Amino acid sequence: MQALNSLTLRTSPLDPLRAPNNAANRRAAASKRVFFVSATAAPKVSAPQRQKDPKKRVVITGMGLASVFGNDVEGYYEKLLSGESGITAIDRFDASKFPTRFGGQIRGFSAEGYIDGKNDRRLDDCLRYCIVAGKKALESADLAADNLTKLDKERAGVLVGSGMGGLTVFSDGVQALIEKGHRKITPFFIPYAITNMGSALLGIDLGFMGPNYSISTACATSNYCFYAAANHIRRGEADLMIAGGTEAAIIPIGLGGFVACRALSQRNDDPKTASRPWDQGRDGFVMGEGAGVLVMESLEHAMKRGAPIIAEYLGGAVNCDAYHMTDPRSDGLGVSSCIQSSLEDAGVSPEELMLQRPIAYSTFLDVFNVVWPSFYQLPFEPPILGVVKINMHKDSRSSGYVEVNNEMLLSSTTMHQCWGTVFAGGCDRHRPVADCGVGHVLQSHTINLQSQSVIIASFQVNYINAHATSTLAGDLAEINAIKKVFKDTSGIKINATKSMIGHCLGAAGGLEAIATVKAITTGWLHPTINQFNPEPAVDFDTVANVKQQHEVNVAISNSFGFGGHNSVVAFSAFRP
């Protein structure tokens, strides 16, 4: 926070306009009209630095999935917005003897057009979901057919992980060994069971020769993959990465294993209401399956090829609780540290970040000599609508006007009303300040001189897609961690995708990242369904049961896994 506490102002861009005797006038004026700017920030978060280099800025240009709601991103999010539950009784095998007999099972999945018939019959569903989701993501990134051949494939990679790998192939192989002996084990047993094969097959199919591997960190897998893929791009090792997670564990051994852990809900009489994050009646999570994949590119590469830029990956972080194999830390320390680190990596502040210093003004010129440096004194780069120009009238240093892209936004006659759109975000077009009052400007850098205050709003988180699995310990531990980081949570909305699709394990973060990006692009947050009797400690707006319209500034998506693996990634709308 050193940059914030320093009392040294950088040289103002208006210094050349100063008259030598103006300093005395300003000192005299200071005794008449003085106002203060306060500052708040989480104590452990250092001054964030947003990435500016187009080679290192990472954007999302494509999304693909396989889900209980189908293989189409738009259809998937429409189902989420409607609050529909994808949880039903399991009919893939006889689950009648299990204490849990339901899940987010995918039915009628088709890989036609994406995997040839022979391989489609051989592959584990975990691999099928991965390949289809990956290729669909490329299609949405405008990288189908001829465009794909134009890529430098030595600089394109794949990083799709899985928590369990090819569990069906593994289970079938063990059964063949026990019942018929080793000669009946398929030669595809090892290749199709290992967790890296999804990335490998996708890379082989596409000819991508860049970084290619998988990460397996249980339910945090997808976010770990996003984080690692983005870092390959930032380090200049790749221009484009396909990243995410895939999982297909709703089989007898998978279900039985989680039953043995006593982790699953047993609400067999009403499966659709079984996944109920933050509700006092929750009794465990619900298994889900699928794949969620993003195409991540350097901004430079995406712009060069004219890619459809959907959103921006701002940053992320990973760490470990170092506490227990399956239980989270009740104090949320590992998770809160991970969130803080992700915000630092993203160049985002958890609180409203403002310059702490008394300032005085008496003339139009004095205002800008104080206020203008305040903006570029900050340790992050505010999003700017365009070229900002400060104009002084020839005959008076007490009047003037401000232009953005050659349009006058602020003059000395309106400066005591409001300043709303010079430093950007909320207004979708340039308008005179008088027509774009403070109440109409969302997430703007706003100055209201009439109330004698200066507010420099930061790039803030106002939406969290939570891990929220519907377990007794995990849900509240995450909430405790969030409260450690965000001192004022009144402006933050939080929801749980798992309330509708279940817990998709290694694919959870991928499917939730897609939901997060869709929230950013549509301005609508899907509900957290099954909120009947909320926990008193969860004093957030959880978007309970009904979707909400919400302009997302910065969103974070949390994923945590067995072993204490924590991961957080941050996204925002793309701003050039």
Task: Please name the helix (run of DSSP H) or strand (run of DSSP E) that holds residue 549, with its range, or none.
Answer: strand 548-549
**Residue 487 pLDDT:** 86
Count the Cβ atoms, other than its own, within 10 Å of residue 204. Answer: 12
Query: Tell me: the pLDDT tens digits for 154-193?
Result: 999 999 999 999 999 999 999 999 999 999 999 999 999 9
Q: Cβ contacts of residue 202 below 8 Å, gap of 6+?
A: 130, 131, 134, 135, 158, 160, 208, 242
- Tell the burial category of 32 from Cβ atoms under 10 Å away from its Cβ (0-12, 13-18, 19+): exposed
Query: Tell me: the pLDDT tens digits for 522-565?
Result: 999 999 999 999 999 999 999 999 999 999 999 999 999 999 99
**Residue 51 pLDDT:** 73
User: Which of the pair, 213 or 428, is modelled with greater confidence?
Assistant: 213
Whole-angstrom distance, CA of residue 277 vs CA of residue 284: 9
**Residue 488 pLDDT:** 85
pLDDT > 70: percent of the chain: 72
Give the residue-averaged pLDDT of 327-356: 81
**Residue 433 pLDDT:** 33
**Residue 298 pLDDT greater than 50, yes or no:** yes
Both structure tokens of 124: 């584990």
**Residue 351 pLDDT:** 64
Does residue 1 contact residue 44 with C-beta atoms inside 8 Å?
Answer: no
Catalytic residues: 219, 467, 503
Does residue 418 contact residue 450 with C-beta atoms inside 8 Å?
Answer: yes
Topology of the domain covering 60-151+216-350+463-572: Peroxisomal Thiolase; Chain A, domain 1 (3.40.47)
**Residue 359 pLDDT greater than 60, yes or no:** no
Of 295, 133, 175, which Cα lies nearest the Cα of 226?
A: 295
Rg (CA), the chain: 26
State the pLDDT confidence band at 348, using cuts at 50, 70 and 90: confident
**Residue 449 pLDDT greater than 90, yes or no:** no
**Residue 308 pLDDT greater than 90, yes or no:** yes
Does residue 559 contact residue 567 with C-beta atoms inside 8 Å?
Answer: yes
**Residue 274 pLDDT:** 98
Whole-angstrom distance, CA of residue 114 vs CA of residue 205: 10
State the pLDDT confidence band at 145, using cuts at 50, 70 and 90: confident
Q: Cβ contacts of residue 453 below 8 Å, gap of 6+?
A: 35, 37
Of 207, 235, 243, 196, which Cα lies nearest the Cα of 61?
A: 243
Residues carrying CATH 3.40.47.10, the chain: 60-151+216-350+463-572
The sheet carrying 388-392 orders its strands as 388-392, 400-404, 407-411
Q: How far apart are the first and last CA of the chain?
A: 27
Sign of the dihedral defined by the CA atoms of residues 342, 345, 346, 352, in that order: positive
**Residue 377 pLDDT:** 37
Q: What is the mean pLDDT of the chain?
A: 80
Query: Tell me: the pLDDT tens digits for 381-430?
Result: 333 333 334 343 444 434 444 443 344 444 443 333 323 333 333 333 33
Whole-angstrom distance, CA of residue 243 vs CA of residue 157: 9
**Residue 176 pLDDT:** 96
Count the Cβ atoms, other than its own, within 10 Å of residue 516. Answer: 25
Distance of alpha carbon 426 from its chain centroid, rounded? Answer: 20
Give the residue-averaged pLDDT of 439-461: 38
Query: Tell me: the pLDDT tens digits for 44-79?
Result: 434 456 677 877 999 999 999 999 999 999 999 999
Which residue has tokens 């390959």? Answer: 232
pTM of the model: 0.77
Does residue 245 contact residue 58 with C-beta atoms inside 8 Å?
Answer: no
Angle of helix 333-346 relative to helix 472-485, nearest 10 degrees, comes to 50
Query: Tell me: the pLDDT tens digits for 108-139?
Result: 999 999 999 899 999 999 999 999 999 999 99
**Residue 355 pLDDT greater than 60, yes or no:** no
